[in-house]
């Protein structure tokens, strides 16, 4: 089963990459309200049971895929 993990900076944390992209887009005449830069990880797990796969993905996300001090994450079945 494939699980997607979206990792984004916390709202309280300065997103320097997002600000740089936002600034470049605006300088080139593009209109936008805001820009955030994160990452997306796809886990292909050898687990067919959805609840077990989500629990395993949650464990992986909390163990290594995100830093809870500066990032949040969301899981989705793909």
Q: Where are the domains of the chain?
A: 2-77
Strands of the chain (E only): list them.
2-9, 39-44, 71-77
The domain defined by 2-77 folds into: Mth169; Chain: A , (3.30.1280)
Pair of tokens at residue 65: 């895929």
What confidence tens digit (pLDDT) does each residue in 1-37 have? 999 999 999 999 999 999 999 999 999 999 999 999 9
Single out the residue of 1, 38, 33 nearest to residue 18, CA to CA: 38
Q: How far is CA 11 from CA 6, 37, 52, 78, in A?
A: 15, 12, 30, 26
pTM more than 0.95? no
pLDDT score of 74: 98
């Amino acid at each position: 089963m494939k699980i997607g993990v979206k990792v984004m900076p916390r709202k309280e944390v300065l997103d320097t990459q997002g600000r740089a992209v936002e600034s470049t887009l605006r300088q080139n005449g593009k209109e936008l309200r805001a820009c955030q830069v994160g990452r997306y990880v796809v886990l292909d797990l050898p687990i067919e049971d959805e609840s077990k796969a989500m629990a395993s993905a949650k464990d992986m996300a909390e163990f290594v895929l995100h830093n809870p001090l500066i990032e949040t994450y969301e899981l989705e079945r793909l």
